[in-house]
Chain A
Amino acid sequence: MYAQLVKSEGMKSAAELSPQERAFQDRIDRGEKIEPKEWMPEGYRKTLIRQIGQHAHSEIVGQLPEGNWITRAPTLERKAILLAKVQDEAGHGLYLYCAAETLGVSRDQLLAKLHDGSMKYSSIFNYPTLNWADIGAVGWLVDGAAIMNQVQLQKTSYGPYSRAMIRICKEESFHQRQGYDIMMKMAQGTAEQKAMAQDALDRFWYPALMMFGPSDKDSVHSTQSMAWKIKINTNDELRQKFVDQTVPQAEYLGLKIPDPNLKWNEEKKGYDFSEPDWSEFFEVIAGNGPCNKERLGARVKAWEDGAWFRDGLLAHAEKAQARRAAARVAAE
């Protein structure tokens, strides 16, 4: 989802584990949290850096499609709300970079990898937000899918990641509600507004389903990550839960999920639904989505344009420190 395609290390069988690895796995099986300086297998550390980094990048890049509408929000109140929501996403990115940094990688290193394309962010943010209803759909569906993923990750085995998730989850439900609130206003508005809301749902439905990553049968990285409790639920489990939760919400709005195969399945007590177009997903991940260049371009530009400012503040801090040190010497 926010980390859709995280390469994990190969899964070792119980017999192949060294005594140290065995003891580590036992701790995880007992539900113990792993903390920063404790021993961990190199693969666990690397997979976590990839996953937390990808998650952090998604929060940061995720600000762009919504930030696009801050200056054009229909009322001052909506603008203030959207601003607070987007600011939260910046915070989420920072909590996650901070968790990743406890694994021995620096934030600037992670950002460099985002900027040179070697690390990814969620495919969803490569779709455009064309009108105000899209901001409603993003909060409702995108944050809704994000929450679905993040709630289970509160139980993840790595302490700093788990704590970041707990904090993020507390803040997320406002995001989804503000989105649904926009959708309610639009769906209960004029015929044109309702049509805009339907159009937004039509465009965001399948990209939202893709957020959970490829189907379990094609997801090669899940087994080891689940054994390590870096991942708790499978992609398909989460996608199913998301669909089951969202369909009644769409019904309340009087909007139609754009899926002719959507049908309640009494036996599994859940909906049957169409898979998204996975070839589109892989294209977007590969950099060929509608907004990949724009998003990454905006990130790189912000980073490069801000360099003089970051350097200036650091130079100021160093000078002030030198002045303080000199004053101390003079006083002695």
Chain B
Amino acid sequence: MSSEWPLWEVFIRGQHGLNHRHVGSLHAPDAELAIKNARDVYTRRNEGVSIWVVKSVDIAASSPSDKGPLFEPSNSKVYRHPTFFEIPEEVGHM
């Protein structure tokens, strides 16, 4: 029984000017083939202008159970949004 090819996460830039976005994963023996396979698997209809691949084992991720401590602190900081401040109409657009 042969051993399994490593898993790669695939990120595609859909158009110039946009960020690369995660689209899925695939198996490939190395980075070069991962990019070739990603071309065939994820861009058969012109979905991309650039591909990144990274080994899945190399991705560090926040844990779902940390959702509270990580993200709740920003909930109370409503002043970070422009709508927090009321600007009189006479001042005009700001």
Contact A313 B64 (CB under 8 A): no
Across the two chains, which residue of chain A brings its CB closest to B22?
A163
**Contact residues in B for A163 (Cβ distance below 8 Å):** 24
A125 nearest CB across to chain B (Å): 21
Q: Are B25 and A39 in contact (CB under 8 A)?
A: no
Q: Are B24 and A317 in contact (CB under 8 A)?
A: no
**B57-80 interface (Cβ within 8 A of A):** 61, 63-64
Chain A contacts with B in 138-164, Cβ cutoff 8 A: 163-164
Interchain CA distance A316-B30 in the complex, whole Å: 9
Say yes or no: is A38 at the interface (Cβ < 8 Å to chain B): yes
Inter-chain contact B27/A317, CB cutoff 8 Å: no
- Do residues A313 and B29 form an inter-chain contact, with CB atoms below 8 A? yes
B residues near A268, Cβ cutoff 8 Å: none
A15-36 contacts to B, CB under 8 A, are 35
How many angstroms from the CA of A94 to the CA of B42 in the assembled complex? 10
- Give the Cβ gap from A320 to chain B, nearest Cβ, in Å: 7
Contact A35 B3 (CB under 8 A): no
With A91-B41, A94-B41, A313-B29 known as contacts, the answer to whether A106 contacts B4 (CB < 8 A) is: yes
Most chain A Cβ neighbours within 10 Å, of B24, B26, B40, B41: B24
| Cα A313 to Cα B26 with chains together (Å) | 15
What residues on B are CB-neighbors of A164 within 8 Å?
A: 24
Q: Are B2 and A311 closer than 8 Å at their CB atoms?
A: yes
Complex: chain A residue closest to B61, CB-CB: A37
Select B64's contact among A37, A87, A171, A314, beta carbons within 8 Å. A37
B85 at the A/B interface (Cβ < 8 Å)?
A: no
Query: Which residues 240-270 in A have Cβ within 8 Å of B in the complex?
Result: none
The verdict on A316 contacting B7 (CB below 8 Å), with A37-B61, A87-B44, A98-B24 known, is no
| Bound-state Cα–Cα, A320 to B33, Å | 13
Within 8 A of B (CB), among A101-151: 101, 106-108
A contact residues around B41 at 8 Å (CB): 91, 94-95
Mask of A69-103 contacts with B, CB within 8 angstroms, 1/0:
00000000000000010011001001100110100
Quick check: A35 and B26 within 8 Å, CB to CB?
A: no
B5 within 8 A of A: yes
**Contact between B29 and A38 (Cβ–Cβ < 8 Å)?**
no
CB of B61 within 8 A of CB of A307, answer no
Nearest A residue to B25 via CB reads A98
A103 nearest CB across to chain B (Å): 13
Given contacts A101-B7, A311-B2, A314-B3, contact A38 B64 (CB under 8 A): yes
Point out the residues of chain B lying under 8 angstroms from A317, CB to CB: 29-30, 33
User: Interface code A312-328, partner B: CB below 8 Å = 1, 0 otherwise?
Assistant: 01101100110000000
Instruction: Give chain A interface residues in 189-224, CB to chain B under 8 Å.
Output: none
9 contacts between A and B (CB under 8 A): A37-B64, A39-B64, A91-B40, A98-B24, A163-B24, A313-B30, A316-B30, A317-B30, A320-B30
| In the A-B complex, the 9 residue pairs with the closest CB atoms | A317-B30, A313-B29, A317-B29, A38-B64, A108-B4, A311-B2, A98-B25, A314-B29, A98-B24
A residues touching B (Cβ–Cβ < 8 Å)?
Answer: 35, 37-39, 84, 87-88, 91, 94-95, 98-99, 101, 106-108, 163-164, 171, 307, 310-311, 313-314, 316-317, 320-321
